[in-house]
Amino acid sequence: MFLTETRVVADDSEVMEAKNTIAARFYQLKSRHALIAKYLLRIGKRRDMKCWWCGHEYQTRDHVFKWCKRWKREQKRLWVDGQEGEDGYEGVEKVLKKPKISLPMSLIFAEEKCSQALMDFLFHTDVGRISRVVEEAENSNHEESSDGGV
């Protein structure tokens, strides 16, 4: 790990060795260019930031990794439990010795010790990936706009 200006940048060797699709989603989320509502709204592909998994008003990185009801089990593993075994890791709160509410996602993505936990979360979820739920919602929005909202 090394310091650039005032940001910590992780040497993500764990990510580099990961499956391409997981690594791609990791880097997209890290750079804030992932397929989540906040980014899709910014680039004009959505009309709102509503979470397509739980209906929360804002689907952001913070929301999907910490609060989205759809991923509660995976969040608990990411933040608290970690994973036991040879390829295990500690939960992010234990690694960084702070509760998730006080940890910005930019810090989590910058910390190499958290990379394996983040990739495991991505492996077990659809975060950062366009899913059938999103496609259905987008098709429904398109049909409403072409019908004049009727």
Entry pTM: 0.77
Can you give the pLDDT at residue 139? Answer: 63
What pLDDT is attached to residue 95? 94
- pLDDT score at 138: 60
C-alpha angle 58/59/61, rounded to 5°? 125
CB atoms within 10 A of CB 111: 18
- Show pLDDT as tens, one digit a residue, over the chain (150 residues): 333 333 334 446 556 555 688 889 999 999 999 999 999 999 999 999 999 999 999 999 999 999 999 999 999 999 999 998 887 899 999 999 999 999 999 999 999 999 999 999 999 999 998 765 556 556 655 565 555 544
Estimate to the nearest angstrom the gap between the alpha carbon of 84 and the chain centroid.
22
The phi and psi torsions of 50 (rounded to 5 degrees) equal -65, 135
pLDDT at res. 144: 58
Contact 52, 37 (CB under 8 A): yes
> Which residue blocks in the chain are alpha helix, DSSP H?
13-16, 20-30, 37-42, 61-62, 72-76, 92-96, 105-110, 115-123, 132-146
Q: Rounded distance, CA 110 to CA 125, Å?
A: 21
Amino acid at site 77: R
